[in-house]
Amino acid sequence: MDHNTIPAWLRPGTDAITITLSRPESFNGVKTNQLVLRAPTVRDMRGAQKMHPNDVEERELALFASLAQAAPADLEQLKLTDYNRIQEAYFRLVSDAAGDAAAVAQPGAAPGA
């Protein structure tokens, strides 16, 4: 996939990114077809590393759950296609180009504003 093209299921924002899932799922007891990931902080990364120092998959799951304010078990029940969307959204969110993509997605917004 071209990383300059924003998929229809992805809506970037300034400090968060919204992912539309292929079907509604339950997160914290609420059924929805969208999940919002906020931008991670150094503290988020350190916390996930401390919780799962020897397991990359568990560390990623814990980080994504924290950013989405969902339980790890809620993410584990997703279709792999939807989990892949979360991974792609995360990498777009933390890339240097994410701010540029958000400005393009929101016409009239000043870059970096």
* pLDDT tens by residue, 71-95: 999 999 999 999 999 999 999 999 8
- The residue whose two tokens read 């339950």 is 26
Integer Cα distance of 108 and 71 in angstroms = 36
Q: Are 81 and 22 in contact (CB under 8 A)?
A: yes
E strand or H helix at 6, and its extent? none
CA distance 54 to 86: 22
**Any idea where the domains of the chain sit in the sequence?**
10-105
Give dist(CA 69, CA 67) in Å, integer.
6
pTM: 0.80
CB atoms within 10 A of CB 16: 16
pLDDT digits (tens, 9 = 90+) for 10-24: 999 989 999 999 999
